Structure 1
C-alpha cells in the first residue's frame, strides 16, 4: 500500500498548493453547487421512492462519465506519465492512481450524495451492507469516468476514432438536452423501471439488504480496474496525423490560412470537436421528429455554428507557444487568416445543414438564412477576439500527454470561456432574428450586415490586441501565468464578498440569459408550451414574453454586475483613518 498512499499524498499536496486565486474560487463555487445537489439527493433518501433515488444516482453516474469527456479530460493532477520510469506493473499503477483519484472536491461531493445509501440502510436495517456499498459505488463512479476518458483518448489516436467519438458524444449530449422528446415518444411520463438495473442503482439495492448487488459491485470494480490498467498501457505520448504534402502560399496571410487548414485536417482534437458540434446540432434539431414535429429541424445549422464557435473559443490557447512564429513575421495578418480559415471549414457545413433541413421542413427561410449569416459572421469575429482577451494557457500540441482531451490545465477556465462564447454568439444573431420574425425577408440583409460588421469589427479589435499585447500573450502561454497589468480585469483587489458575487454572476448569469430568457422566448414564439424546465412556457399567455424578457434582463444584469466589480482602473477605497 506504500505506492497507493504516496500517490494520494502527492495529490493532496498538489491540490493544497494549487487551489489559490481564481482556481480556488471556481472550486469553491463548484463545491457549493455540488453540495446543494448532494443535499437534495440525500433528502430523496428520506422521502422519495426507490425509482426517484435510483434516477438521481443515475444522473450522478452520467455526470462522472460524460463530464470529463466534455470538459477537458477530467482530473489529471497525478498523471500516469509521472511514474513511467518507475517500472510499476499496470495493475499496481492503476490501483495507485485510483487511490489518488479519491482525493479531491468531486469525490468528496459524490460521497456526500452517497450518504443517501446510509440513510436507506438505516431505514431497511442493512447498515453493514450500506457502508461498503457507499465506497464501492463511489469507486464505480470514478473508474467509469477514468475508463470513458481513456477510451476517448484511445479513439483520438486515429482520425476515424476521433470523428466517431465526437459524433457519439455530440448525440448523447443532444439527447440529454431533448430528453423530454424521448419521454413523450415512448409514452414515459415517469421514471423508467429499468433504472433499478443500472450500475448506479446496485449500491442502493445493496443498502436495502441485497448482498448479490454488493457482490456485483465488487466484480464491477475489479473489471473496471483491469480495463483501466490495460488502457493505461496504451496511452500515447502525443497525438498527430499522418504526413501530408506541402502547401505553398504566395503571401503571409495565405500562409496563415494554409497553416490553419492543415491544422484542421491533422489535429485530431479539432476533428473530434468539429464532429461533436455537427452531431450536437443535427441531434438536437432532429430529436423532435420522434414525436412528429419538424419545427426544430431547420435550426440545425445555426445550432451547429454556435457549438462550433464554443469549441474554438480558446483558439490561440490551443496552439500554445506557436504564436512566436506570428510575432516574428512582420505584416502577417494572423487574425484575418484564422477567420477565413474557420469560415472555410465551418460555413459550408452550416449552410448545407440550414438549407437542406429548412427545405425538408418547408421553412422558415427568412429566419434561418438571416441567422446563418449573422451567426457565422459573429462567430468568426468573436473567436479570435475572445481568445486574445480571455486566453487560457494551453499545452503545446506536440507536448500533449496520453490524454488528448486535456489541452489546458485550467478546465474551469475553458468551460467558462465556452459558455461566454455561446452567449456572445447568440447575441450577435438577435437583431437579424428579430427582424426576420417581424419583417420577414428584411432579416436576411440585416443578418448579412451584422455578420460582416462583426467579422470586420471584432477581427480588427483582436488584431490590434494581438499586435499590442503579443509578447504578453506569448509569455502567458509559455509560463501559464497571466501578466498583472493595470488595464486587465483583475480580482485581487476585491474583498471576499465581492469575489463571491462576481464568481456567482459570471458562473450563473448564462442560466437566466440563455435557457430561461432567449430560448424560452423562442419556444413561446413557436408555440412550444410546457416545455422542459423553461418557466415562461408554463405561464398564462400574458405572462410568457414578460417573464422571458425579465430573465434576459436578469442575466444581463448579472454579467454587468460582474464586469463592474472587476472593471479595470477601479478606484480603490480610501484607507480607514
Structure 2
C-alpha cells in the first residue's frame, strides 16, 4: 500500500503546483460546470430513475470519450516515469489507479454518484448502506474503463487500420452526443431503453434497488479491468514504433510542389493525421445522418460542410504537430511553406467534402444553392485559417518520433488544443456566413459569393500566415523547443488582472460560443427553414414575430461576451506591449 499512497501524494503535490494562474481559472470553470451537471444528476434520483440510469451512462461515455479527444486524458503521472523501478504491472496499475482518484474530475463524478445514496435512502436503510460500496465500485469502474479504453485506442493508433477504425468510432460517438436531442425525442416516443440499466454504468443503481448480484458484478469487473490495464501498461512500456515501409522518392516541379508532396506524404503516413481525417469524416456523416432516425432529411446535405469545419478544428495546430521540424522550413526562406500546406490541406479534404455534399444533397433533394455556396467558402476559409491560427496561437507539440508512449498525446497543453479547436470552429463558420446568407436570400448568387469569399480567405489569410512565419519563425521554433513563449503569452493576458477581471474573461471566453453559435446562428437557420419547437433552441419556441429577434439577440449577446472578455484582458496586453 506504500506505493499507492506515495503515488497519490505525488499527484497531490503536482496538482498543487500546476493549478495556478490560468490553469486554476480553467479548472475552476470546469469544476463549476461539472458540479452543476452533477447536481442535475442527483436531482434525477428524486424524480425519474430511468433518466438517472441514462445520465450515468452519459457520465460513463464522457469519461471514455473525453480523454480520447483530449490527447490521452490526465497523465500527470505517466507509466514511463516508473519503468526503471521494476514494479510488477499489477502493482503499477494499482498505484496509478489510486492516483487517478486524486483530481477534480473524480470528485465531481463522486458527487454525481451520490444519487445512489439518495435512491437507497428512499428505499430503506439496507439499500442506503449498499449504496456506499456501490458508489466506490461504480467510480472505480468508470475510471478504470476510461483508462482501458484510452490505452486500447492508443495501441490502435499505432497501426493505420487501428487509427482509421478508432477515428470512425470516436467520430460517430461524439456526433451521437452532439445530436442527443434526436435520441431524446426517440426516448419520448419509446422510453429509455432497458439496455441502459444493464450497462456497467447502471449496475450500481441495480444493486441499490436490491439486485445484489450487481454489486458482485461491479467488484469482479474492477478486478478484470485492473488486470487488463496492467497488461496494457506493459504493452505501452515496451512498445516500439515500427518504421514505415519503403516508399518511392517524392518528385516535385518546384519548391512549393515539394512542400505539397511532403505534406501529402505526411497525410498518408502520419497515423495521428489519419485518425484526425477519419474522425472528421465520421463526425460529419453521423451528425448529419442522425436526424434520419426521425425521418428528417434537412440536415443531410450539410455533411460535407460539417466535415470541413470539424477537419479544420482537428488540424488547427498544424505547425505545432510538426514539433521542432520547423527548423527545416526556416532554413529555406524562399519556399512558400504556407501555400504548400494550404494546397495539400485542400487536396486531402476537398475531394471528400465535394463527394459528401453532392451525394447527400442529391439524396435529400436540395437545397443546392445554399450547400454549394457554403462549400467553397468553408474550404477556402479553413485552408486560410488553419495555418494563420497555427502560427499565431501555436501550441507546442510533441515531436512525432517521441509519441511512442501515447500516440494520442500530441501536445502537453491539452487545454490549449481544446481552446484552439473551439476557436477554429467559430472562425470557419464565420467565414461561410456571408455566402450562406446571400444564398438563402438570393439563391444562386450565393455561389459566386462563396467562391469569392473562399478564394479571398485562402489568399489573404495565407498571406498573413506566411508573413508571420517569415518574420517570427525563430520565435515559433523556440516556442516549440522550450514552450517558454507559449506560457508567457498566455499569462501575459491574465497576470496583473484582478480576480473580477479574470472571472469575467474566463466565463466570457469559455461560454460566449453558446449564445453565438447554437442559440443564435443555428437557431436562426432553423427558424429560416420553418423548424419550430426544436430541441433546446429557444428561438424556435417563440411567437412568429419574436423568433428572429430572439436569435439575433443571442448573436449579439455572444459577440458582447467575447467583447467583454477582450475588454477584461486588454489592460494587461497594453501594459505588456505599448504598441
Could you tell me the TM-score, scaled by structure 1's length? 0.95
The partner residue of 1:539 within 539, 542, 547 is 542
Contact 1:506 1:559 (C-alpha < 8 Å) held by counterparts: yes
Deviating above 6 A after TM superposition, structure 1's stretches of 4 or more consecutive aligned residues are: 484-489
Structure-1 residue corresponding to 2:379:
376
Q: Find the aligned partners of 1:480 and 1:347 in 2 and give their Cα distance.
A: 33
Q: 1:313-359: CA deviations, max 9, x gaps?
A: 11111111111111121212111111111011101111111112112
Kindly indicate whether residue 476 of structure 2 is the aligned counterpart of residue 447 of structure 1.
no
Contact 1:489 1:568 (C-alpha < 8 Å) held by counterparts: no
Q: 1:268-319: CA deviations, max 9, x gaps?
A: 0110110011111111112222333322111111011001000001111111
Contact 1:156 1:239 (C-alpha < 8 Å) held by counterparts: no
Contact 2:374 2:432 (C-alpha < 8 Å) held by counterparts: yes
Q: Find the aligned partners of 2:104 and 2:145 in 1 and give their Cα distance.
A: 17
Q: 1:30-86: CA deviations, max 9, x gaps?
A: 1111111122222333x2232122222121111101111122111111111112222
1:43-192 correspondence to structure 2 within 5 Å = 43-45=43-45, 47-123=46-122, 124-125=124-125, 126-182=127-183, 184=185, 188=189, 190-192=191-193
Contact 1:385 1:462 (C-alpha < 8 Å) held by counterparts: yes
What residue ranges of structure 2 are gaps of 5+ in the alignment? none
Residue 131 (structure 1) shift: 1.4
Q: 1:132-164: CA deviations, max 9, x gaps?
A: 111111101101111111111111111111111
Contact 1:58 1:200 (C-alpha < 8 Å) held by counterparts: yes
Q: Find the aligned partners of 1:432 and 1:82 in 2 and give their Cα distance.
A: 52
Q: 1:96-122: CA deviations, max 9, x gaps?
A: 111111111111111121222222233
Q: Find the aligned partners of 2:575 and 2:525 in 1 and give their Cα distance.
A: 43
Check 1:484–1:175 CA distance in 2 against 1; reply closer, same or farther (3 A cut): closer
Q: Tell me whether 227-236 or 67-76 shows the greater mean CA deviation.
A: 227-236
Residue 504 (structure 1) shift: 0.8
Kindly indicate whether residue 211 of structure 2 is the aligned counterpart of residue 228 of structure 1.
no
Structure-1 residue corresponding to 2:16:
16
Check 1:42–1:376 CA distance in 2 against 1; reply closer, same or farther (3 A cut): same
Structure-1 residue corresponding to 2:313:
310
Contact 1:239 1:268 (C-alpha < 8 Å) held by counterparts: no
SS at match of 2:497: coil
Check 1:390–1:180 CA distance in 2 against 1; reply closer, same or farther (3 A cut): same
Q: Find the aligned partners of 1:501 and 1:184 in 2 and give their Cα distance.
A: 36
Q: Find the aligned partners of 1:487 and 1:165 in 2 and give their Cα distance.
A: 33
What residue ranges of structure 1 are gaps of 5+ in the alignment? none
Structure-2 residue corresponding to 1:391:
394
Residue 3 (structure 1) shift: 1.7
Kindly indicate whether residue 494 of structure 2 is the aligned counterpart of residue 491 of structure 1.
yes
Contact 2:361 2:368 (C-alpha < 8 Å) held by counterparts: yes
Contact 1:205 1:213 (C-alpha < 8 Å) held by counterparts: yes
Contact 1:520 1:536 (C-alpha < 8 Å) held by counterparts: yes
SS at match of 1:408: coil
Q: Find the aligned partners of 2:172 and 2:488 in 1 and give their Cα distance.
A: 43
Structure-2 residue corresponding to 1:288:
291
Check 1:232–1:486 CA distance in 2 against 1; reply closer, same or farther (3 A cut): closer
Residue 238 (structure 1) shift: 4.4
Q: 1:350-407: CA deviations, max 9, x gaps?
A: 1111112112222211111110010000001111111111111111111114221111
Q: Find the aligned partners of 1:231 and 1:44 in 2 and give their Cα distance.
A: 36
Check 1:487–1:55 CA distance in 2 against 1; reply closer, same or farther (3 A cut): closer
Q: Find the aligned partners of 1:553 and 1:237 in 2 and give their Cα distance.
A: 52
Residue 514 (structure 1) shift: 1.0
Q: Tell me whether 78-87 or 374-383 shows the greater mean CA deviation.
A: 78-87
Contact 1:64 1:142 (C-alpha < 8 Å) held by counterparts: yes
Structure-1 residue corresponding to 2:471:
468
Q: Find the aligned partners of 1:357 and 1:179 in 2 and give their Cα distance.
A: 22
SS at match of 2:570: coil
Q: Tell me whether 330-339 or 179-188 shows the greater mean CA deviation.
A: 179-188
Kindly indicate whether residue 55 of structure 2 is the aligned counterpart of residue 28 of structure 1.
no
Q: Find the aligned partners of 2:408 and 2:487 in 1 and give their Cα distance.
A: 29
Contact 2:267 2:274 (C-alpha < 8 Å) held by counterparts: yes
Q: Find the aligned partners of 2:52 and 2:475 in 1 and give their Cα distance.
A: 51
Kindly indicate whether residue 407 of structure 2 is the aligned counterpart of residue 408 of structure 1.
no
Structure-1 residue corresponding to 2:39:
39
Contact 1:298 1:364 (C-alpha < 8 Å) held by counterparts: yes
Structure-2 residue corresponding to 1:418:
421
Q: Report the number of matched residues.
A: 572
Contact 1:239 1:398 (C-alpha < 8 Å) held by counterparts: no
